[in-house]
Structure 1
Amino acid sequence: MSDADAYETAHAEAHDNARGFAAFPARKGARTRGQTWWGQAWTEAVEDTSLSTEALKAGRSYARSGRLGPITVSPGRITAHAYDGETSFTTSVTFTELTEDEWDRLWERVTEHPSVLSDFLSGTLSPDLLEASEDARVRLLPGYGDLEGDCGCDEFEDPCSHAAALCYQASWLLDQDPSLLLLVRGRDLHQAQDDLKSALLMQALTGADDEEDTTPAPLPDGTPAQDAYATTPTPLPPLPPLPGPSARRSEPASGGIESDPLAPLVADAAARARELLAHLHGFRPSPPVPLDAWQDAVRIAATHPDPRAAARLREASDAPERFDRAVRAWQYGGLLGLDILETPWTPPHQDLARARTTLAADWAEDELPPLDLTDNRLTLTARGLQLRYGHDARWYPYRLESGEWWPSAAPHQDPADALAALLND
């Protein structure tokens, strides 16, 4: 056993709350950065502290390669074995653990945020916990000076590509369990919850919380009872005459139209009318977007829970063969999604160049599939996949089905996320 391996073993054994995780398999073509809020926040923090973009790019490729072994997360350290051909070595990333004073300040701020407190005690780390930590001047996410790579390789960057890969895979772990962020700072979730409960108990015993003022508010001035009883009541106006009997009308035949889908349609019309009235009375800044007959039919079919409504609208439309694709486009992107389906356009050159740069940064050259660019559409012809750039600066994933391009997933700001959604589907 090497000195580094011996140190890692001793470090893990010294912490009963160290946790181990199975190695991640290769993820060819998948996204490297974390996908949840905490995973993304971790990734952004790690990338902000690195001085070498090339090491990060190499780390992303290495993280997807499946050449990191099982991961151990313990207070102040994340460790794994890295494999390069026949060579293996230990790589780790160390973090500054929080002091007792920093933990106390954090719990003091958490108790001032009821929603964060409730979520934390139930085992959930709310994103607002980060705001509470910043208020307490406590750093939870990695920052300058408290993240250091330690690897048996001969690279000079810090972190090296192997340690960077470990940081990216740590974001995948945070996607699954954000409480690991507490562990690398020195507390596992149960310890942290116990500390927080102790802080709450101490506040209750010392009266740290302000007691509520139970003094009743003074009653408003009113009319004395004797004056009210002495007042002569105003007589009520006479009742209006009763209406006469209405003429009986014969109802026309229904013609086979079901009546039960009509109620949601009436409610939809009322909701649209309410939006318009809200604008007219100054309660919303802009009126509802006007829709033509085709757009409104697609909207109703996409949002109406009864499939019979969609079937009738399809039959009545001018283009029933396009109707289902239009409905799916609306379900993923609303009116903008429908526009992306139907109308190509030419985006600014810098937007497309930025997209290519983003894709190249997330995939190695041998991993990125060849892309064909036409108007606002990046097409992976060999795989039958396509990204369409919208006027809202988002990328809409499409898939080729039976010779037609169909909307396939919700849009993303990042083209790499949109492409990963297609490749992982």
Structure 2
Amino acid sequence: MDEAREERGARGFPAFAARRGGRARGRSFWAGAWTDAVEDTWTEEEPLKKGRSLARTGRIGPITVGPGRISAEIHDGGATHTAVVTLRELDDQEWELLWEKAADRPAVTEALLAGELPEDLLESVEDARLRLLPGYGDLEADCDCGALDHPCPHAAALCYQLSWLLDSEPSLLLLVRGRELAGAVEELKSELLLRAMTADAEADSDDADAEADSDGGADGTEDVPVADGGGSTGRARAPQDDVAPPGVDPVAAWAARGASPLPAPPPLPDRPAGADEPVTGIEADPLDRLVTDAAVRARGLLAYALGLTAEPAPPLDLWRDTVRVAATHPDPRVPARLRESCGRPPHELDRAAAAWRTGGPAGLDVLEHTWSPSAQETARARAALAAGWEADEPPELEVRDNHWTLTRQGLQLRLGRDGRWYPYRREADAWWPAGPPHADPSDALMDLVEA
């Protein structure tokens, strides 16, 4: 059985290092969907809590993921146990049905053909009345530890670490159900090819029927019976003066069409990156910076048009534009000249540029301005930390306005007016930006603590 699975694409992954505190669940959509399904299937909280703690200890060995099976050796209390989690594999007919439903959704098809696992695939799974995520009676655990809990903490820890793998390779969900991603894509291509061939055949049949129907009347005549001199009858063509020519009057067609709707606005692109080479081939070329700046401003206007921001970005004053140039210009001589001429201490411009690089104008605002969130916003943040930290107790933070501080560690989170959490680290006598912002305070704090 193990050799058969190996031939069918079982894959090995190196052991994860220990993680201090933080969440035991993966971060991605598929990781969250997997852990939610596992926790809904195995409802006893105590073994799951032990499994989360064990998953972070670094005592789980390399993980093997194969069709219908996940396994690993776990070192616990001086003993080594082998934990195996199994799921039912989908049979060939079920996979065929799934790809039929996926082919009905162009966005799902496009993502799968690109080697991605789109979130909307779950809708195709539901249309096919199948399961991709585990459910009751579908997820089994086996371990030689002899624990009475079901699942035992070792199997639970293995499931949580699989969610970490799903962060980078969501297609492992297909593998545990019996298909490698490459094989799944080929089966989907076959379904699409079959559909195209069927559509072509139907189109050819419709064209032949239309041509047959047009014989005898397309030229404005019809067959009428005539008699010859011997008393027999035949068919002759008689003109039909009252038959209108085929087609639609162009004037009437144009009047009926109405005004065409404007096309939908394009999706918001990624932030433009600076060009590797100057646009004109001249070192310190200002044109590439102007192009990039125009792209950034256009992106901001598009974000407002799409309703992603409450208002368009305001124009920059002299200080903010100085910070922007210092943060984004590739020539190190430019920030050096700005430090000398900006009229502020050099370290102040450096901190402001670091804040700009982490969050643009919003990041600079978080550095320079303190504000007081509402009691409801503070309560939601505390609840998010308690739910996402998943240790026995989240670390105690000192809260003052929008600053949440771990004083002894010299770490701080700042809540921006854009709803994101900006990490800061104390260096000498000043707080410096320490990384990109997060929407979830528990994610921001975990990354800050583990950095």
| 1:72 paired to 2:100 | no
1:129–1:86 Cα change, 3 Å: same
Please name the residue that 1:117 is paired with: 109
For the residues of structure 1 that align with 2:448 and 2:406, how far apart are their CA atoms?
11
List aligned pairs for 1:308-347, cutoff 5 A: 310-311=335-336, 313-320=338-345, 321-347=347-373
Could you say what secondary structure the match of 2:418 adopts? coil
Could you say what secondary structure the match of 1:123 adopts? coil
Match for residue 358 of structure 1 among 349, 366, 387? 387
Using the TM superposition, give the Cα deviation of residue 323 of structure 1 relative to its aligned residue in structure 2, in angstroms.
1.7
Partner AA of 2:391 in structure 1? W
Could you say what secondary structure the match of 1:23 adopts? coil
Whether the 8 Å contact between 1:261 and 1:309 is mirrored in structure 2 is no
For the residues of structure 2 that align with 1:299 and 1:307, how far apart are their CA atoms?
14
Please name the residue that 2:48 is paired with: 56
1:165–1:121 Cα change, 3 Å: same
Using the TM superposition, give the Cα deviation of residue 411 of structure 1 relative to its aligned residue in structure 2, in angstroms.
1.1
Please name the residue that 1:143 is paired with: 135
Please name the residue that 1:12 is paired with: 2
Structure 1, residues 364-406: CA drift from partner, whole Å, max 9, x if none? 45xx666444443333344432222233332211122343211
For the residues of structure 1 that align with 2:413 and 2:299, how far apart are their CA atoms?
36
For the residues of structure 1 that align with 2:386 and 2:328, how far apart are their CA atoms?
37
Structure 1, residues 196-246: CA drift from partner, whole Å, max 9, x if none? 23323433444489759999x979737xxxxxxxxxxxxxxxxxxxxxxxx
Please name the residue that 1:377 is paired with: 403
Please name the residue that 1:92 is paired with: 84
Please name the residue that 1:240 is paired with: none
Could you say what secondary structure the match of 1:94 adopts? strand
Whether the 8 Å contact between 2:20 and 2:450 is mirrored in structure 1 is no
Please name the residue that 2:413 is paired with: 387
Partner AA of 1:139 in structure 2? R
Please name the residue that 1:160 is paired with: 152
The structure with the larger Rg is 2
| 1:183 paired to 2:184 | no
Whether the 8 Å contact between 1:362 and 1:416 is mirrored in structure 2 is no
Using the TM superposition, give the Cα deviation of residue 165 of structure 1 relative to its aligned residue in structure 2, in angstroms.
0.8
For the residues of structure 2 that align with 1:21 and 1:173, how far apart are their CA atoms?
9
Which stretch shifts more, 57-66 or 132-141? 132-141
For the residues of structure 2 that align with 1:60 and 1:91, how far apart are their CA atoms?
15
For the residues of structure 1 that align with 2:25 and 2:83, how far apart are their CA atoms?
19
For the residues of structure 2 that align with 1:31 and 1:278, how far apart are their CA atoms?
32
Match for residue 319 of structure 2 among 294, 315, 324? 294
For the residues of structure 2 that align with 1:274 and 1:181, how far apart are their CA atoms?
35
| 1:101 paired to 2:99 | no
Give the TM-score of the pair, scaled to structure 2. Answer: 0.69
1:141–1:306 Cα change, 3 Å: farther
Whether the 8 Å contact between 1:61 and 1:364 is mirrored in structure 2 is no
For the residues of structure 2 that align with 1:191 and 1:271, how far apart are their CA atoms?
41
Match for residue 250 of structure 2 among 213, 218, 221? 221
Which stretch shifts more, 165-174 or 345-354? 345-354
For the residues of structure 2 that align with 1:193 and 1:276, how far apart are their CA atoms?
38
Partner AA of 1:294 in structure 2? W
Which stretch shifts more, 340-349 or 150-159? 150-159
Could you say what secondary structure the match of 1:150 adopts? strand
Unpaired runs of at least 5, structure 1: 1-10, 223-257
Aligned residues: 374
Could you say what secondary structure the match of 1:319 adopts? coil
For the residues of structure 2 that align with 1:353 and 1:279, how far apart are their CA atoms?
30
Which stretch shifts more, 368-377 or 104-113? 368-377
Whether the 8 Å contact between 2:47 and 2:149 is mirrored in structure 1 is yes
1:56–1:403 Cα change, 3 Å: farther
Structure 1, residues 146-168: CA drift from partner, whole Å, max 9, x if none? 22333344555443322221111
